[in-house]
């Protein structure tokens, strides 16, 4: 049971203290929710809200079917040396072409295999992206949305391939991107494109999911390079 001092903290602070002060290593897995509710003295609904908050802050990340893991709390894992070197050899245009070759196929598999929880994770990332007050917040949630699609494929090999693709993407020298506003506008094209992807996956329409992801990445490429 939590000590008297921890009981004075709000649920998010209590969970954060449990992770930081409890000697849990970065990259380690947290105990199951049942254990955490007993350890922290909170209901499962309260615990899940606290987990959502810490995931949004980047302290933890969740993998469907595997559990909740502790991150460094700041930024995505740094690319490995091999991925960094590969990223240095790729132009941003070829990076986008690789995404267009791989991610639509992952979306197609997601339409076949997505669980209810995976669909919720996609929806949560979409809602948070729309509520983002900075481009950094938006990009974090955009990344989480695409990873949620990969997780929804329920295929460890495809998820690993996506993660490696993402590592290379982070290592590619994109140069400076000029932003005309502090955060995405309500009519930012990616919002509707993400909705189309999620809707197709939810409807179990594999062909539509493939096409929606292809169109989304093509739209991103067109904004960046003026061509698909």
* Pair (105, 45) in one structural domain: no
Note the pTM of the prediction, 2 decimals: 0.65
CA atoms of 154 and 64, how far apart (whole Å): 8
Q: Which of the 8 DSSP states describes residue 8?
A: G
* Pair (85, 113) in one structural domain: yes
Mean pLDDT over residues 18-41, rounded? 81
* Pair (61, 92) in one structural domain: no
CA atoms of 20 and 10, how far apart (whole Å): 15
* 199 to 9, 131, 140, 145, 227: CA distances (angstroms): 39, 20, 21, 13, 26
Question: pLDDT-based confidence at 65, cuts 50/70/90?
Answer: low
Is 60 exceeded by the pLDDT of residue 59? yes
Write out the residue range of the structural domain in which residue 188 sits: 81-225
Is 50 exceeded by the pLDDT of residue 8? no
Q: Where are the beta strands (DSSP E) in the chain?
A: 60-63, 67-70
Between 72 and 37, the more confident residue is 37
Secondary structure class of 93 (helix, strand, coil): helix
Is 90 exceeded by the pLDDT of residue 182? no
Is 80 exceeded by the pLDDT of residue 47? yes
CA atoms of 106 and 140, how far apart (whole Å): 20
Contact (CB, 8 A) for 162 and 98: no
* Pair (110, 136) in one structural domain: yes
* Pair (122, 52) in one structural domain: no
Assigned domain for 150 exists: yes
Question: pLDDT-based confidence at 219, cuts 50/70/90?
Answer: very high
């Amino acid at each position: 049971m939590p000590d008297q001092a921890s009981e004075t903290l709000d649920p998010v602070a209590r969970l954060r203290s449990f992770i930081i002060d409890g000697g849990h290593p970065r990259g380690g897995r947290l105990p199951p929710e049942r254990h955490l509710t007993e350890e922290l003295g909170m209901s499962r609904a309260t615990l899940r809200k606290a987990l959502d908050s810490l995931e949004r802050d980047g302290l933890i990340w969740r993998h469907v079917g595997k559990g909740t893991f502790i991150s460094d709390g700041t930024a995505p894992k740094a690319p490995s040396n091999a991925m960094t070197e590969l990223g240095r050899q790729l132009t941003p245009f070829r990076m986008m072409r690789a995404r267009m070759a791989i991610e639509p196929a992952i979306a197609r598999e997601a339409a076949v295999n997505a669980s209810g929880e995976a669909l919720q994770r996609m929806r949560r990332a979409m809602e948070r992206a729309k509520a983002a007050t900075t481009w950094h917040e938006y990009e974090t949630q955009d990344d989480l949305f695409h990873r949620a699609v990969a997780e929804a494929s329920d295929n460890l090999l495809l998820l690993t391939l996506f993660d490696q693709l993402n590592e290379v993407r982070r290592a590619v020298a994109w140069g400076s991107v000029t932003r005309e506003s502090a955060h995405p506008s309500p009519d930012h094209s990616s919002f509707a494109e993400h909705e189309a992807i999620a809707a197709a996956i939810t409807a179990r329409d594999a062909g539509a999911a493939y096409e929606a992801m292809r169109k989304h990445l093509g739209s991103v490429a067109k904004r960046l390079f003026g061509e698909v």
